[in-house]
């Protein structure tokens, strides 16, 4: 149960950070931001564990996986905006 809650919280943070690094305004809901943040987090973690030895843990957080999650979530937000077509600049 706590793993699900932690995943949602981390997904919300990653989704929010991904939206901050993107230029312009993204017209997507908070729920979509969290979902894309969770997906970005999963993709970032998968990519980091697949392509590295996973030795970037500092203070209990894998920073490279976290940053990759933000990049993946930002890409997912852009793709979502292109598919839905509701981006406003």
Higher pLDDT, 3 or 9: 9
State the chain's mean pLDDT as an integer. 81
pLDDT in tens, 8-43: 888 889 989 998 888 877 788 888 988 999 999 888
- Residue 44 · residue 67 · CB < 8 Å: yes
Q: What is the separation of C-alpha 51 from the centre of its chain, rounded to a whole number of angstroms?
A: 18
- Residue 76 · residue 36 · CB < 8 Å: yes
Higher pLDDT, 27 or 88: 27
Per DSSP (E only), the strands in 1-89 are 57-58, 61-62
Q: What is the DSSP letter of 52?
A: S
Q: How many CA atoms lie within 13 A of 58 on its CB side?
A: 5
Which tokens in the block code for residue 20?
A: 């901050």
Question: What is this structure's pTM?
Answer: 0.80
Does the pLDDT value for residue 76 go beyond 90?
yes
């Amino acid at each position: 149960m706590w793993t699900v809650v932690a995943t949602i919280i981390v997904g919300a943070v990653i989704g929010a950070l991904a939206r901050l690094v993107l230029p312009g305004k993204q017209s997507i809901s908070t729920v979509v931001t969290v979902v894309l943040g969770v997906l970005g987090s999963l993709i970032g973690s998968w990519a980091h564990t697949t392509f590295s030895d996973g030795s970037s843990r500092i203070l209990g957080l894998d920073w490279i996986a976290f940053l990759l999650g933000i990049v993946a979530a930002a890409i997912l937000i852009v793709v979502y905006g292109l598919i839905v077509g509701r981006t406003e600049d």
